[in-house]
Structure 1
Amino acid sequence: MNLSAKIELLIQAKKLSASQFADTLGIPRSSISHILSGRNKPSLDVVQKILIAFPEIPAEELLDDKRDLSISVPSPKIAPTPTASTPSLFDAPTPSAPESPRNILPEQTIVQSNLRRPRESSSKTPQPVVAAPSSTAHLAKKIERVLIFYTDGTFTESKPQ
């Protein structure tokens, strides 16, 4: 029995889905899919992770094609699946390393405070924008600031001089 077939047998014996098995090992789900379909052979890293996650499986049985896999029933160490209590990407994170001293508030607070801010300050009198030739129409708008949001929850803010 080859290694891919033994992995499939292990998944069935532990009553796991391929996704749960991949999550248990901490590897991409596509890796298990490719192994089970025969597209790829398991790497040394995958074999090591199987042996760590399932210590009851002898390495010799797993690796030797001439030996059958004897599987006992203890449950594996399954990684927790996301639940409602797990924070999502859109929860207001506490920035871990602000890029500037001004960026110490969570993004949600900054965005909400900016939404409440009036567009024009009361000291300025609003100037009506008059239709002008296209070469001067862009002069009516100026960039106030540029925000760049990063995937780790931090951001940078730039204002023109």
Structure 2
Amino acid sequence: MVNTSDFTKRLEKILEYYALSAAAFAEEIDFNRSTISHLLSGRNKPSLEFVMKLYQKFPEVDMDWLLFGKGTFPSTSENIIEPKNENQKKSVSEEKSPDLFSQENVGTKSMEPSNQNIKEIERIVIFYKDGSFNVYQN
């Protein structure tokens, strides 16, 4: 179970790290400002939708750390790029990924592995409709 007061502290640490106000953070993850306010005040617990949107925009945030306080933030230093200015921090993973299921990519690519852009899977997170999830890491 997520401890609301500890979760609030970790969410505040994320906002501080990225130098974002609550309103700017809500806009970044495309979420309702009042919901962010309720999370920061401890009134509400995070929803699965909130956690998923946060992770999509900020994949360097370790879900175990965010929800349970286990681990560190940011999870690894290799995903972090130094900010161009103090008000802007971005991650390498914000680069646009190709759509592997688009019509132009289906059945047209060779199944031979390419030495270009080989990426290793760091973590797989499966979210269930009941709000629970499993994290699989190397």
Q: TM-score, normalised by structure 2?
A: 0.48
Q: Which one has the largest radius of gyration?
A: 1
Q: TM-score, normalised by structure 1?
A: 0.42
Q: Which has the higher strand share?
A: 2
